[in-house]
Structures are given as structure tokens and as C-alpha cells.
Amino acid sequence: MEFLTAPWREEYIRKLCRRSKSCVLCAALKKKDDKRAYILHRGNHNFVILNKFPYTPGHLMIAPFRHLDRFEKASQPAAEELADMLRDCLRILESRYRPQGFNVGMNLGKSAGAGVTDHYHLHIVCRWEGDSNFMPLVGGTRVFIEDLDTAYARLRPLFQALPRRGKNGGSRRGRS
């Protein structure tokens, strides 16, 4: 069996563990500027945000507005909206980045590898053959084709073009 390590994320995880009890996802929601928070889309119950410490370009997360630590605590409408948002994200990433595959999943709890343990979120990671190389191990450096501002500018128009769903039509804050 081969193992894929991500040593460049250690500093980020250690900072999260030392931080106060504030939630990075809730803090992003409280910002008045979605661009500055890298929030690409707000639904009725969930939002799509760029991962500030991505594994690959276009690394997105879908998270609920409600501060919940477990997916099974989500309401049925929130869970259904998350599935719809996942489909939208996959289509958008496919059209913009043309990945050869995706990793999609949740790390629920510290022992499962969650960096943010108290606010569940779904990761969507674009993958290409050979997207992991020697630079992180030998040089301690990740090489990306774009920064977060460029990724936001590249993806935001596609999320803005999504049809409005639900009774709130993509309201700024949702109920779950």
C-alpha cells in the first residue's frame, strides 16, 4: 500500500488547534464581503467556499450556515441542498479546470483528520495524474497554477449563473 502525505498542512492544523474556539467557517460567513471571505455561493442552508489551504487548484468546500459538528444533525432540506450543490460544484470545476478526477468527502472528527472539527463541511478536490510531486517533500513548497483571488475570479461568475432554488431563492443566510 502506498501513502500520500500532506506535510505542508501541518502548520495550518497546528494553528487551528491553538486557536480560540472561534470557527473559521462561521467567521467567513460573518464577513460582509464574500469576495474577501472567498465565498462563491450561498444557498438556503449551505454555502460554497474556496479552501484557503488547498490540496489542488479549485479545492472547494460546502458547509452549512448552522454551526453543526455532524452531518447527521442536518435537516433533510439542508442535506438535499448539499447534494445539489455538490453536483453544481462538480459541473463547474469540470468546465473550468478539466480535472481527470475528483476526491469528495468529509473528515468528521479529529481522529478522522478534520482540521475544523466543530463545523462539518464537504471537500471537493480536483485531481490530475501526477498532481503530487516532489516539491512539498524536498523543497517544503507547494506549486500552484493560480492564487485564491484568481480562482475566485475564475469560478464566481459560474456560481452566480446558477439557477435559484428553494423558497428563499439563495438567500444570504439560511435556516437549517
Q: Which of 41, 45, 121, 123 does the annotation list as catalytic?
A: 121
For 58, the 3-state DSSP assignment is coil
119 is a catalytic site residue = no
Q: Which of 28, 66, 30, 27 is nearest to 46 (CA)?
A: 66
Q: What is the distance between the alpha carbons of residues 5 and 9, in angstroms, rounded to a whole number? A: 9
Runs of H (alpha helix) within the chain? 10-18, 24-30, 34-37, 76-97, 148-160
d(CA 157, CA 103): 23
Residues carrying an active site annotation? 121
